[in-house]
Amino acid sequence: MKLEGTNTLAAPIETVWKMINDPDALRRCTPGLKELKEIEPDHYEATLNVGIAAVKGTYKGTLTISDKRAPSHYMLVLEGSGGTGFMKGVGLVDLEPQGEGTLLKWTGDMQIGGLIAGVGQRMLGGVGKMLIGQFFKCLEQHLGEDV
């Protein structure tokens, strides 16, 4: 399942770059994140409780940031599994200055398997997009606060 989108953030590219690398910002803005433990720089252990309405699952896994080209590009790999299924997602984030602000482009390729994929197929794409949208909206709200 491939997803993509763009967000315009009202802050200079350096500020946005710092924020998307800041464990506190990731912790605060990742929907359903219960725990994010830094194992080593750019490598985290994560526990997420994600889903919609009463259909929620707990996933344990890792989050790795690599291919960094400050301040404009990185790759994010998320792998996790839980009682209702497993997921593996690779996301590419690209930043470019746009006037006073920053244009953030993301593309993601997600594989979701197990029970949740079999039953929830109809809604996975839409829900995935919605959660990623929440993530960036949250980043936007916290921009310039304490980065």
Partner 1 sequence: MKPAAFEYHAPDTVEEALGLLEAHGDQAKVLAGGQSLVPLMNMRLARPAVIVDINRIHALDHLTPDGDALRVGALCRQRSAERSAIVAARCPLLHAALQLVGHVQIRNRGTVVGSLAHADPAAELTAVLAALGGTVTAVGPDGTRTIPADEFFVSYLTTSLDPRELLTEARFPTLPEDAGWSWMEIARRHGDFALAGVGVVLAVRRGRIAEARIGLTGVGPTPMRAVRTERALAGRAPADALWTEAADAVREEIDPEGDIHASAEYRRHVAGVLTRRALAEACARTAKAA
Residues forming the site for partner 1 (CB under 8 A): 52-57, 83-84, 115-116, 119-127, 129-130
Kindly tell me which of 23 and 31 has the beta carbon lying closer to partner 1. 31
Kindly tell me which of 21 and 49 has the beta carbon lying closer to partner 1. 49
**Smallest separation, CB 31 to partner 1 (Å):** 12
Contact 2, 108 (CB under 8 A): yes
The residues with which 61 forms a beta bridge, in sequence order, are: 46, 80
**Smallest separation, CB 93 to partner 1 (Å):** 22
**Smallest separation, CB 95 to partner 1 (Å):** 26
At a CB cut-off of 8 Å and minimum separation 6, what does 94 contact? 72, 73, 104, 105, 106
End-to-end, the C-alpha distance of the chain in Å comes to: 33
**Smallest separation, CB 18 to partner 1 (Å):** 31
Dist. CA 112–CA 121, nearest whole Å: 9
Dist. CA 53–CA 39, nearest whole Å: 32
Give the DSSP per-residue string, 112-142.
Answer: EESHHHHHHHHHHHHHHHHHHHHHHHHHHHH
Kindly tell me which of 5 and 144 has the beta carbon lying closer to partner 1. 5
Kindly tell me which of 27 and 129 has the beta carbon lying closer to partner 1. 129
Contact 30, 48 (CB under 8 A): yes
**Smallest separation, CB 46 to partner 1 (Å):** 21
Kindly tell me which of 61 and 82 has the beta carbon lying closer to partner 1. 82
